Chain A
């Protein structure tokens, strides 16, 4: 199993309309297109002369190359109008549309679709953001809370009190879980009222990272007081990390809430877009910061690490073993291309 052999999200559903779209995964360019039955993904170079297929058009269930009019089905079978007896083949990817995104894996690759337990929740929205830094560096930022007082506007903990935040890391064979518990940072009163957050609330950020593909699911909620009952709305947010290239990583953010839309539709119609806007704002702050980390060393060896960084080292090992399919202790593969 290599880093390609997982179900990766490569576009949001709303980004793929009637026109084909180019997506990039680990440096491989793909042409995504919609058919009557769903979505298709082919290598973004016509098997005939290499013309980028995402510039083509969809006719029926086929993607038509604008150069010589060769036609391609989502399963890779092709037809040449000028050479009807030819049976050309394109490199087709398994492609599916789920959870508001378009996902691909190499045809026949033996991978499970990541299970995100949101079957009981209400969808808030989806967004995508490109972080110009390597996968590991981007993931690092998303699995520690130490940066939240300085980088974020609303999310996370109060500047100056990060030392008071409890952080518990537990690891299993295929997952790394971090449980953070600390006093909520001061929020503007209107915002507290919208989300029903008590004055002395504590914020729990409880997330689990899995590695096929690399993704983290956050459970974020408030307690009334330091050990009081749960209060206010709870969010469940899945973030998928899709490497575009060695120094670019796309974040696919799928956000859900435990609140309903139908109980008080008017307030939900105002609140839900507001929550999504806040989620996007915070993710963009992370991405802006990460742009300055593009050339930071990926390796953690020899770095000075704090108590919030246990998940970082645990995740590196699992990225190597589960995501990249390398045995532990094996020498890294040097890409000489």
Chain B
């Protein structure tokens, strides 16, 4: 099978595994290549305390729900265990340690060059994840800073930060939760850099997960009504955060999601610490000094270390020939969940508020269906 599969799937994370299970079910042969030594390497590598922000009832991959005992928001370890069991159950047999260095199309077939050789197939599914390569921005004189600057991909827990002054850059879900983790770990001060206006939403509102509300309401209300409803609810739950430096964008959260593809920050407890002045919100960075950072408001604060929760890029252009034709300016596929170019598919590059895993399950089925139809 490995010598001439019909399909090559790149990446054995949730997307690649879901596509594999769907192809297997439809009788399509495939080779699943994974650069790491295990499935779900991104999930293995995330910081320890991470939980899914979406509920397990709406986050499982095709044909296999999460086990009963797992709580509604599976922990990082629960997800890793689930992916391990998923790969075993469907006998997906990923080929580990196989990093794809080039994917090229000629004469209607794809040739994938990987660590130990080349594989040709009539279709390729790119499922390398949207967090393949850490995005590390630079600032003036950041090389003079005496403390450590770590990307969040290298942050697992805050034990080494006890008694230290920490700055977290980036107010996405990771940045906000890492700031909370650092405070709990006993960092002597924690600052969270929030550059612009930002929508914040509690993960649960009156016991109902934000994801469940989104799934229930998605598409049923006009965006402006949905904006008004969600803002009113969020305001009741969190109040006005502007005294603490978090301003709300002019556009509502639903409009922003539709028009800018920006998801709100899903709060799992950081806001409560910000409101109790345990975590300080600071504006964007102007430059580094030897001992700290100068911010856009002119303030200079000392820090012992910085965590960059500044996100990732897909890095698809590093291995895919003709990538510019199928990727947008940010390096994300323009078309996902269906054929992006003849025989070329992308799965898992969307992060809707209804949940990334929820979306992966839908995309994987669609892509497998499409591929299976082309075979028969």
Contact = CB atoms under 8 A, between A and B. Distances in A.
B203 to A, nearest CB: 9
A262 B209 contact: yes
Interface stretch (A118-126, A186-194, A244-252, A300-308): A118-126
A230 interface: yes
Interface string B180-205: 00011110000000000000000000
A110 B163 contact: yes
Q: How large is the interface on B (under 10, 10 to 19, 20 to 34, 35 or more residues)?
A: 35 or more
Interface SS majority for chain B: loop
A111 interface: yes
Between B70, B71, B186, B208, the greatest number of chain A beta carbons within 10 A of the residue's beta carbon is seen for B71
A258 B75 contact: no
Interface in B142-189: 158-159, 162-163, 183-186
A39 B276 CA distance: 8
Given A38-B276, A97-B276, A120-B78, A258 B70 contact: yes
A113 B49 contact: no
Interface string B113-128: 0000000000000000
Given A261-B208, A262-B208, A262-B212, A230 B69 contact: yes
Given A110-B163, A262-B212, A38 B277 contact: yes
Contact of A113 (B51, B71, B184, B277): B184
Nearest to A114: B184
A328 interface: no
B319 interface: no
A173 interface: no
Contacts of A121: 71-73
Given A37-B276, A122-B72, A258-B72, A113 B163 contact: no
A227 interface: no
A260 B55 contact: yes
A162 interface: no
A94 to B, nearest CB: 9
B129 interface: no
B74 interface: yes
Contacts of B275: 37-38
A258 B75 CA distance: 12
A159 B73 CA distance: 36
Contact of B72 (A117, A236, A260): A260
B49 A119 contact: yes
A268 B72 CA distance: 14
Nearest to B277: A37
Contacts of A260: 55, 57, 72
Interface string A213-241: 00000000100000000110010100000
B278 interface: yes
Contacts of A256: 71
Contacts of B74: 120
B257 interface: no
B207 A261 contact: yes
Nearest to B75: A120
A213 B171 CA distance: 31
A113 B180 CA distance: 10
A230 B277 CA distance: 42
B272 interface: yes
B154 to A, nearest CB: 20
A112 interface: yes
B68 interface: yes
B69 A234 contact: yes
A231 B57 CA distance: 17
Nearest to A232: B68
A187 B295 CA distance: 62
Contacts of A230: 67-69
A234 B68 CA distance: 9
Q: Which of B57, B272, B276 has the most CB of A within 10 A?
A: B276
Contacts of A276: none
Contact of B162 (A96, A97, A110, A117): A110
B212 A96 contact: no
Contact of A122 (B71, B183, B268): B71
A84 B26 CA distance: 82
Interface in B50-104: 51-52, 55, 57, 67-75, 78
A49 interface: no
Contact of B186 (A37, A39, A112, A120): A112
A98 B269 CA distance: 9
Nearest to B177: A119
Contact of B278 (A96, A221, A268): A96
Nearest to A268: B207
Interface string A107-146: 0001111010101111000000000000000000000000
A265 B73 CA distance: 17
Please provide the 7 A-B residue pairs with the shortest distance between their CB atoms, ordered closest to farther.
A38-B276, A120-B71, A120-B73, A261-B207, A113-B184, A112-B186, A258-B71
7 contacts: A110-B163, A112-B162, A112-B186, A119-B268, A122-B71, A259-B72, A260-B55
Given A258-B71, A263-B57, 16 more contacts: A37-B277, A38-B275, A110-B163, A113-B184, A113-B185, A119-B51, A120-B51, A221-B69, A236-B71, A256-B71, A258-B72, A260-B57, A260-B72, A261-B208, A262-B207, A262-B212
Interface of A: 37-39, 96-98, 110-113, 115, 117, 119-122, 221, 230-231, 234, 236, 256, 258-263, 265, 268
